Amino acid sequence: MQAAAPNVADKATLRELRAAIEDFHCDYAAELDRGDIEKWPNFFTDDALYRVIARDNHEAGMPLCLMLCQGMGMFKDRAYAIKHTEMYAPRYVQHHVSLVRVTGFDGTHATAEANYTILETLVDEPTKLLQAGRYMDKFRLQPDGSLLLAERHCIFDSVIVSNCVVFPV
Amino acid sequence: MTVQAIPQNAAPNHELPDLIWPEKSGDIPDWIYTDPRVYELEQKRIFQGATWNYVGLEVEIPKRGDFIRSYVGSVPVIVVRDLREQVRVFENRCAHRGAEFCKSYRGNSRSFVCPYHHWTYDLTGKLAGVPFRNGVDGKGGYPEDFNLSDHNLRSLNVTVLGGAIFASFSQDMPSLEDYLGPELYGEFTTIFSGRKLKMLGIHRNVLQGNWKLYQENLKDPYHATLLHTYLTTFGLFVAGNKTGIVADKDGRHSALLNAKPEGRPDNDASKAEIRSFKAAMQLADPSILEFNKEFDSPWTSSAITIWPNLILIRQLNILSLRMIVPQGPNEFMLVWTAFGYEDDSPELEQHRLRQNNIFGPGGFLGIDDNEALRFVQDGIKRSLPRHGVASLGKDVEPMDTVITDRAIRSMYKHYREVMGL
């Protein structure tokens, strides 16, 4: 991911951006945790890139992703598959996002990082940690002032996946 | 004390005489998936027996001193390219006090030093040195009859075919070609032709099921035509396609072969029983299912099971391996390796990566199977014992019969012979 040029001179803008990005994380997590998967693509630009990749692959320079979307069509097909074609046991998921850092802003794009954890709960089972990882994001400022993700790289430390990851990270 | 003689013709499973295999053809007893004694015996007779076990790809260790962690059955091993470029496989267990000394997925080293007491092994697994062998100031140290060569790492038999590395605890093994048999060798070398590979990456997951369920899954075209909407709806594997099942003469390896029709499959009478067939389903980005024909083969997909620990999948332009690592009767790890070829165009590599959304622990189909297997293990281990049923089809039937369990039955025929069950 190409980092947007950092603008360290204007700390007020960075603080404002961080607040906006934290709001974005809240909405994103709330939508996914509610289970309305077909709304998930709306958080991305039409040309967005989305990768869920094991930290081991990422650091070894191997590009294989657990989930990969390039462009809106692939987001919609992923959402459709989860809602209509995949077979899996019912579950609750809960996203927790923390340590949001804005790493750059060039007027139209902001780059940011955050840690995330996802808890998963299946019927008759205690809640478990599904993923611990780091978001590396690139947000695109929209004309109305809102943010959309142009890139989201979810780099997970929990390399050994417990069975499967059904919902997006 | 008398030692009871074992009759020569007795099944060699006298260790587990209380386990009686059901008589009815196609019945599979629950205890093969849950009994810890069966699991232990499998480790001994199958994974540590006369089998070739996949452990990795040569492209993962291209240079001298490159190594990866891997497994043979439940046993952790290291796969390394030594200074003479020969591929070696040895146990990841220090001969001194048993430490599993290599804790990295991969790396490069001139030697292996156990961090506990610094016993040092060269890249062929030979013990090269131990600290304070003669003690300090003439006091302490190892006894005079201590020989370094008595304490090498346990080394496995190794063979390489087309870039794929296999290992065996048995030193007396047929060639991999003979082990696979002509049909499977042909399917295997379609992919591993010697053309240089390129690693795309690895998925790892733990499944809450018995390891044999995974072998069964890839020998089970019945489920493929029912469980997986992506296979049925887009014709990747669906009843009515041109299909075939081949197995080796021992029945332990098999390949499910399928030729995807041009476009989508007809919504004919054969689809009426397939609840997962969604005639109206459209992809917003159909490019993910494009097929660039790259092999001289009539089949667009080939799901190859190589006994006991490997699945080799070619589905459209996805090339991937799944290594089975048993972790007790109720759990196994799967290591999915996705690859392409070194001379792939950037576009083809991208296409393979996009298509890999289908498989893996987050894949459109991968999720279906991982969940289904878990359902099976939950059912088997928690309810009253009864036999599973794998009686579809006949043991001898035309190759293109797809609604059949014959590959599962032939695997268990072999399994019973080896296990003496």
Query: A76 and B229 in contact by Cβ < 8 A?
Result: no
Higher pLDDT, B3 or B85: B85
- Overall domain count for chain A: 1
With beta carbons under 8 A apart, name residues in chain A contacting B362.
52, 66-67, 161, 164-166
Asked if B374 has any chain A CB less than 8 Å from its own CB, the reply is: yes
Nearest CA in chain A to B231: A85
Domain assignment present for residue A111? The answer is yes
Residue A5 lies in a domain: no
Which of these, B154, B179, B157, B128, lies nearest to B75 by C-alpha position?
A: B154
A143 belongs to a structural domain: yes
Which is more confident, B22 or B282? B22
Domain holding A104, by residue range, is 11-156
Q: Looking at the predicted structure, is the pLDDT value of residue A2 above 80?
A: no
Residue among B192, B398, B178, B227 at smallest CA distance from B313: B192
Q: What residue segments make up the domains of chain B, in order of their start? A: 60-159, 181-419
Contact call for residues B60 and B66 (beta carbons, < 8 A): yes
User: Does residue A167 form part of some domain?
Assistant: no
Closest by alpha carbon to B404, among B228, B212, B236, B247? B247
Cβ within 8 Å, pair B203-A66: yes
Residue A6 located in a structural domain: no
Query: Tell me, what's the pLDDT at B336?
Result: 98
Mean pLDDT of A139-167: 97
List CB contacts (< 8 A) between B202 and chain A.
54, 56-57, 62, 64
User: Given this model, what pLDDT does residue B7 score?
Assistant: 45
Give pLDDT, residue B3: 45
Q: CATH number for the domain including A121?
A: 3.10.450.50
How big is the CA angle at B155 (ends B151 and B157), to the nearest 5 degrees? 155
Q: Which B residues in the span 269-288 are in contact with A, Cβ-Cβ below 8 Å? A: 276, 278, 281, 283-285, 288
Fold of B60-159: Rieske Iron-sulfur Protein (2.102.10)
Q: Does residue A149 lie in a domain region?
A: yes
For residue A4, being part of any structural domain is answered with no
> What class, spelled out in words, does domain B181-419 have in CATH?
alpha beta
- What span, in angstroms and rounded, lies between the C-alpha atoms of B331 and B346? 38
pLDDT the model gives residue A6: 58
Q: Which residues contact A166 (CB under 8 A, 6 or more apart)?
A: A82, A86, A88, A91, B362, B367
**Interface probe with B: pick from A51, A157, A163, most Cβ of B within 10 Å:** A163
**Count of residues in chain B:** 421
- The confidence band for B4, taking pLDDT boundaries of 50, 70 and 90, is very low
Residue B12 has pLDDT above 80, yes or no: no
Amino acid B13: pLDDT = 63
Instruction: Count contacts between A and B (CB, < 8 Å).
Output: 122
A129 and B CB contact within 8 Å: no
The letter for the amino acid at B225 is T
DSSP assignments along B338-357, one per residue: EEEETT--HHHHHHHHHHGG
β-strand pairing of A147-156 with A44-54:
parallel
CA B297/CA B279 separation, integer angstroms: 28
* Interchain CB distance below 8 Å, A161 and B362: yes
